[in-house]
């Protein structure tokens, strides 16, 4: 039987469980540390980014205020700039290639929910299959090399 995290990564309907909550709490602590670390303290910022992200290349800059959901699902190539006030809802993979510039206030959301209102109705069947009235699923995002 798949875990909720496996369902999430496979693009199936999922409900955040205690395992996923722990990933989120860890991420939020690291994001707070990253955003609170002086921009000139590049070695500490690099250390935090290495712990926060799934993988990180060389010469990656993440400006403040950065926000993400899991962190571990974000994979950055080399020579990447993520400008200020960006939010990545990384319930699934976000792959960022090499030589990528991401502008200020960019929001990337891998998670979504059904647009069919019957799938969002608070019925006993929906509660049984998803744990809540809103069934969530996620799809990966890929940003190719040399995108700005």
Residues involved in catalysis = 113
Element spanning 9, H or E: helix 4-9
CA angle 55, 103, 64 (to 5 degrees): 65
Residues in CB range of 91: below 8 A, 6 or more apart: 8, 69, 70, 73, 110, 111, 136, 138
d(CA 80, CA 103): 11
């Amino acid at each position: 039987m798949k875990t909720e995290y496996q369902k999430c990564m496979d693009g199936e309907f999922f409900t955040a469980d205690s395992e996923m909550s722990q990933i989120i709490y860890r991420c939020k602590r690291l994001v707070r540390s990253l955003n609170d670390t002086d921009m000139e303290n590049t070695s500490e910022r690099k250390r935090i980014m290495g712990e926060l992200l799934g993988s990180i290349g060389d010469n990656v800059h993440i400006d403040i205020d950065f926000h993400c959901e899991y962190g571990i699902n974000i994979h950055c190539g080399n020579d990447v700039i993520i400008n200020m006030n960006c939010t990545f809802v990384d319930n699934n993979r976000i792959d960022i290639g090499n030589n990528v510039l991401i502008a200020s206030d960019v929001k990337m959301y891998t998670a979504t929910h059904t647009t069919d209102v019957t799938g969002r109705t608070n019925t006993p069947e929906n509660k049984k299959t998803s744990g809540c009235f809103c069934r969530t699923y996620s799809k990966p995002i890929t940003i190719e090399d040399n995108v700005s």
